[in-house]
Structure 1
Amino acid sequence: MKRGYQGSPSGPPQSRSKPNPEGDGVFLEDESTKIFARKVADHYSARTNQTLEEREASPIIHLKKLNNWIKSVLIQLYARPGNAVLDLACGKGGDLIKWDKAKIGYYVGIDIAEGSIEDCRTRYNGDADQNQRRKKFKFPARLLCGDCFEVRLDRALAEDGPFDLCSCQFALHYSWSTEARARRALANVSALLRPGGILIGTMPDANVIVKKYREAEGLKFGNSVYWIRFDEDYADKKFKASNPFGIRYKFHLEDAVDCPEWVVPFHVFKALAEEYDFELVFAKNNHQFVEEYLKKPEFVDLMRRLGALGDTHDKSEFHTLVVIFLPALSVVFVTCTLSPDEWEVAYLYLAFVLRKRGQPDQMQKRNVKKGDNDTPITKEDIMYITS
């Protein structure tokens, strides 16, 4: 049986629109793509902020904590004090605390979902959870509402760049519905990152998803907390290397996701990114990522602080990470309450890091930002951008 996505290693098919690393090109969208983008936006807008008690009661709470750990590790590895950060598909601002701990100097978040941006605004202002002490972030911020895989961001953010670091967590695959959107996403990041700047992200692992689909008996596979179902168009379980965009499936994850997503063959993503002046630093499946970075004591301690690890001698409890990774650790009693089904979901994703080619210009001065950390973001401050 074939394993994973059988695509051409030579990269994406020849595009009728020439790539433009500066983001000056016009990438045309069809109406059906916009409809699917709106479905994704409506799904995330409809999700409300949960209380601490509700979050802890989630059937995938340990998976969520693991994902938070992975994002935290990426941020600790690449964010530097004073960095200007662009957060694509920032959602409800769940990573704001991570950026604050990294002591960044400026933050711009953009998301397509109006409800998510409003939640991000209230979280930044310290009003997200009345049961917790008001969090005061140390960096000024700006929020935009719009489709960052459709609109030109270099125009809207002309006074904000260049950025040192861009983050796109569990979202870049939504750009893969068409080649035009995939190119716009990369053109936006390339246009706004300084030479030597970093793009960190997480996305579904196409090799794992296609392998599991081919091993399944029908169009659908999953377990107690998730399922993936492909359309009848892919009933033969074959995917043309000549057309790696728009391979849609429905993804359902308990208490998290229930919307269409798209397969991103990573070798095609890498080749496309190279057209926009990016070079791959690494790409690791989440299982591999956990194994590698749990070898470092500081990241073991981080996972424990996030609540995904504990110290116990109770061998009756299922401890996924212990069984798999204990030989690589010098920590005898590291344990994890991640269930086997949650651990399987983690296997569906990978983490990646890209670096924009070139060396930073030490003489280049970033524009002075308006406002400071004492200035709350009002509803009127949110910029709405359209194509």
Structure 2
Amino acid sequence: MPPVTSAAFETATPDPIVYLDRVAATDLGRSYKGRMLDELDLRPGQTALDLGCGPGTDLASLARAVTATGAVIGVDHDEATVDAARERTADQHAVTVRLGDIHELPLPDHTADRARTDRVLQHVADPARALREIHRVLRPGGRLVMGEPDWDTLAVDHPDSDLSRAYTRYVTDEVVRNARIGRQLPRLATAAGFAVPTVIPITPVFRDARAADRILGLERTTRRATAAGYLTEEGARRWLDHLSTGPFLATVTFYIVVAES
């Protein structure tokens, strides 16, 4: 039987840096990142941390907010993205980028006034430990702003709702390590010593299948779900055929959570 495929969707997994840049450049990316920046409430002279900073997408906006009198420290565990972030911010004198683990930050106690994580905690080995570390390095009265999806809320319309449920179940069970982290953040942050004054749910609606695929990787994920037994070959074909030709609608809830130390 030939492999599941649809000419409408990407088949190759994009380079991680390319993917992060792609998401940041979408209307959705600009919108939620702007909201996170607003919630950080940065002031000139403050020290801000971008934990899991990736290739430095957000470091310049943080640097502008704290001005030349402040400091921005990006931390990431991946050498390639750290190198990219350092190159991109070479002219930003307020910015420093460090290689480090969010579970054991290379920073002394009470270093920073503000911190952010953006789609990072869904992937880490121990979100509770990471939050305790962030609490350690923030000064009393500091603020952490986190943005995470809850993949259990992923809803993709299809005439066969069993296929939609199977697809979401595969994403939640197998693709994302901490797939329900969005809804868990207030509880985990409270346990780590934070107060959580604000939770902001954002639910984007995707109406264009190709645009959604560039963020969700619909075909790549479908192939993996089929190999893992969540979908049959025949079911996967019906799933992709409708997504690529029929009216398309998909949603997933993304949470912005504000925590105060």
TM-score (normalised: structure 1): 0.46
User: How many angstroms does 1:339 deviate by?
Assistant: 4.5
Contact residue 87 and residue 166 of structure 1 kept, 8 A: yes
Contact residue 81 and residue 102 of structure 1 kept, 8 A: yes
Runs (5+) with no aligned partner, structure 2: 1-12, 213-248
Count of aligned pairs between the two proteins: 205
Distance 1:102 1:114, change over 3 A: same
Name the CA distance, whole Å, in 1 between partners of 2:162 and 2:114.
43
Name the CA distance, whole Å, in 1 between partners of 2:61 and 2:83.
19
SS at match of 1:196: strand
Amino acid at match of 1:230: Y
Query: Aligned pair 1:349/2:254, yes or no?
Result: yes
**More helix per residue: 1 or 2?**
2
Distance 1:265 1:167, change over 3 A: closer
**1:208 aligned residue:** 153
Name the CA distance, whole Å, in 2 between partners of 1:276 and 1:174.
18
Distance 1:275 1:346, change over 3 A: same
Distance 1:120 1:187, change over 3 A: same
SS at match of 1:262: coil
Query: Aligned pair 1:89/2:52, yes or no?
Result: yes
Name the CA distance, whole Å, in 1 between partners of 2:162 and 2:150.
20
Name the CA distance, whole Å, in 2 between partners of 1:229 and 1:268.
18
**1:362 aligned residue:** none
Contact residue 86 and residue 107 of structure 1 kept, 8 A: yes
Name the CA distance, whole Å, in 2 between partners of 1:284 and 1:145.
30
Amino acid at match of 2:256: A
Overall identity of the aligned pairs, in %: 20
Contact residue 151 and residue 252 of structure 2 kept, 8 A: no
CA RMSD, 1 decimal: 3.3
Query: Aligned pair 1:120/2:85, yes or no?
Result: yes
Q: Residues 222-261 of structure 1: matches in 2 within 5 Å?
A: 228=168, 230=170, 248-250=173-175, 260-261=176-177
Q: Residues 316-327 of structure 1: matches in 2 within 5 Å?
A: none
SS at match of 1:81: coil
Q: Residues 1-387 of structure 1: matches in 2 within 5 Å?
A: 46-48=15-17, 64-77=26-39, 78-104=41-67, 105-125=70-90, 136-139=91-94, 141-149=95-103, 152-153=104-105, 156-158=106-108, 161-175=110-124, 177=125, 181-206=126-151, 208-209=153-154, 216-218=161-163, 220-221=166-167, 228=168, 230=170, 248-250=173-175, 260-266=176-182, 268-287=184-203, 339-341=207-209, 347-356=252-261
SS at match of 1:116: helix
Contact residue 80 and residue 103 of structure 1 kept, 8 A: yes
Runs (5+) with no aligned partner, structure 1: 1-42, 126-135, 222-227, 232-246, 251-259, 289-319, 321-337, 357-387
What do the CA deviations read for 1:216-275 (whole angstroms, capped 9, x no partner)? 414643xxxxxx5618xxxxxxxxxxxxxxx6432xxxxxxxxx4422355543222212
Contact residue 93 and residue 119 of structure 1 kept, 8 A: yes
Name the CA distance, whole Å, in 2 between partners of 1:114 and 1:202.
23
